[in-house]
Amino acid sequence: ETSLKMGKYQLVDIEEKESTRNPAPPFTTSTLQQEASRKIGSSVKQTMLTAQQLYEGNVGNIPGHTGGLITYMRTDAVNLSTLATSMAKKVIEHEYGKEYSLEYPRKYATKSKGAQEAHEAIRPVNLALKPSDIKPYVDNYQYKLYELIWKRTLATQMTPAKVANTIYKIEAGKNKECEFQTKGQRIIFPGFMKAYTEGSDNPESAL
């Protein structure tokens, strides 16, 4: 400790490695329940009740839209239809720009045996219907859950995030006999994080 007080602290090396991150799969029943609990604080019962209302279209009269707002909410499948991925691409390019869209759709396969492949993952029926479009016609829970599903679905079809992992090496002590390391991360390109990060809406806090 005395030696540390006598010597200078000197930054001797910065090591930076780039890594990429891919988005989480589209929602299944269980992952929707988990994220709704984390992000909007709703219980499983509340989430399923709200999802049922969105599925049935049990909401106010939304101009230009009739029927349900989301696909069937009881599913363990993570696949999205070609229709959904092509819709997502259009919306991503319009909302975020071409640099955020994929050339080819990202496909997710359901690993669990006996999964209901006949169903898709939980997604908006019409991705062009933004959360802000429905906000005046739905209640707060319906809006928040729809927004969660809309963002997650878009994120699955967006480019990976590029992250820089940095290690700072610091020499210290009278004879430079001590070395400290500190690590940091920064986002180089947010990619899918622009729309959605698990557990938080702030990409920086997801690092």
Beta bridge partners of 178: 172
137 counts as catalytic: no
At what angle are helices 140-156 and 82-95 packed, to 10 degrees? 100
Amino acid letter, residue 99: E
- List alpha helices for 96-196, DSSP H: 131-134, 140-156
Query: Between the CA of residue 142 and those of 26, 34, 94, what are the distances in Å?
Result: 18, 16, 24
What is the DSSP code string of 7-72? SPPEEEEEEEEEEEE-PPPPB-HHHHHHHHHHHH---HHHHHHHHHHHHHT-S---TT--S-SBS-
Question: Distance between the two ends of the chain, CA-based, in angstroms?
Answer: 32
DSSP state of 165: E
Q: Please identify which of the residues 55, 72, 104, 108 carries the catalytic annotation.
A: 72
> Which residues are identified as catalytic?
72
